[in-house]
Amino acid sequence: MVQRQLPNPAELLELMKFKKPELDGRKRRLDAALTISDLRTIAKRRTPKAAFDYTDGSAEGEISLARARQAFEDVEFHPGILTPAPDVDTSVEILGGPSALPFGIAPTGFTRLMQTEGEVAGAGAAAAAGIPFTLSTLGTTSIEGVKAATLRQAQGPVPPRNWFQLYVMRDREISYELTRRAAAAGFDTLHFTVDTPVAGARLRDKRNGFSIPPQLTLGTIINAIPRPWWWFDFLTTPKLEFASLSTTGGTVGELLDAAMDPTISYDDLAVIRDLWPGKIVIKGVQTVEDAVRLRDVGVDGIVLSNHGGRQLDRAPVPFHLLPSVRTAVGDDFTVMIDTGIMNGADIVASVALGADFTLIGRAYLYGLMAGGRQGVDRAIAILRTEIERTMRLLGVASLAELEPRHVTQLQRLVPVARDAAESAAR
């Protein structure tokens, strides 16, 4: 028989401890976000459709982005046992300097369109976290503005670092001047971007009638009615423009078109290398052969990237390409990776399979749209927690202990053998 008794009020009070209510609405919604996907949900609710879709979408059928995210989901980890890792070291040396975490913020264009704090929020959060921030040629905060934001927020033992992403524009002198300005501002690494000979077909933007700067239509006004805070920020803050290009002349559309140039070549790379005093990496590498050639011409590293799926749809998945590239270029060449990273476990898997570093784009922008600077801080904190937890569960105390044995890439997309395909064609 179960013995029953009247409830003891004192014992009930011990069980019924109510959480103190959070009166700050922004902090309350960000604290409730436990994953980057949660931040995305908040961002979608708070941002007009055209701006959100510009961030969230990719090219044509969005196959490249879907495959990249699926590749990270199709990972099987192999944890060690009886290898205690109560404390983990997430720091890494990358391109001649430290980073407190194995990821930095990738370059994104039009960032103040998503949320008015834009690159200032990203650079400040990165500096506070001790990770690099990369400014895009098409950024909406100037080179000098990002440098100032970084210096204001620098704290802790890891010095702040800024990187600059360069499009070689049709008017080469514009790119040369940007290179000189970034060097003068103390940016230590240049991302020479090679995957944008022409703009990809971003169909969500076309369907939304999206333009830079935004044009008010009946549809955008109706969509904005439940989001007055976004329009208030947009209309009461400085003009949205390509800040580093604001003195070069031309409309926003003309500058965007000028950034896409199918004639760039190794000759342009040679010129930029002569101008740039720091490290130079090539962003947008998508084949093993190109990775090897770039190593042989002496660049400091590469970023395996298909531009977040925003250029050539059905392009190679960078995470799938990673092991082959690492084997081909050897251990002493810097290989970084982006596209599709939504979880700290994605970053751990990338490091285990040979990446020296990773870059996040959409993951940071979801945080920005969800809550400005505080939202970016939250995105970084989520990824940090996931990285640390995954490392502990794998039984590794440092990133250097991660090896290919810790990860299996499960296969959904298996290439057809060339000889079989040729036989079938005959």
At residue 220, φ and ψ (nearest 5 deg) are -70, -35
- Rounded distance between C-alpha atoms, residue 339 and residue 359, angstroms: 8
Residue 239 one-letter amino acid: K
**Tokens representing residue 307 in the block:** 């531009």
CA angle 151/124/352 to nearest 5° reads 110
Judged by DSSP in three states, 303 sits in: strand
Residues 6+ apart with CB under 8 A from 251: none
The two structure tokens encoding residue 419:
């000889």
Cα(242)–Cα(383) distance, integer angstroms: 29
Peptide bond between residue 213 and the one before it cis (omega within 30 degrees of 0): yes
Give catalytic status of residue 406 as yes or no.
no
Buried b (16+ CB within 10 A) or exposed e, 200-231: bebbbeeebebebebeeeeebeebbeebeebb
Q: Tell me the C-alpha distance between 68 and 315, whole Å.
A: 10
* Paired strand residues for 162: 133
CB of 137 closer than 8 Å to CB of 144 = no
- 78, 191, 307, 406: which one is catalytic? 307
The residues, any chain, with a CB within 8 Å of residue 97's CB and separated by 6 or more, are 132, 159, 161, 188
Residues 210 and 50: their CA atoms lie apart, in Å, by 6
Residues 6+ apart with CB under 8 A from 364: 105, 106, 108, 122, 376, 379, 380
Structure tokens of 47? 């941002």
What is the per-residue DSSP string for 324-375?
HHHHHH-TTSEEEE-SS--SHHHHHHHHHTT-SEEEESHHHHHHHHHHHHHH
Tokens 């700050």 belong to which residue?
24
State the Cα–Cα distance between residues 230 and 244, nearest whole angstrom: 24
- CA gap 336, 268 in Å, rounded: 22
Q: Tell me the catalytic residues.
A: 307
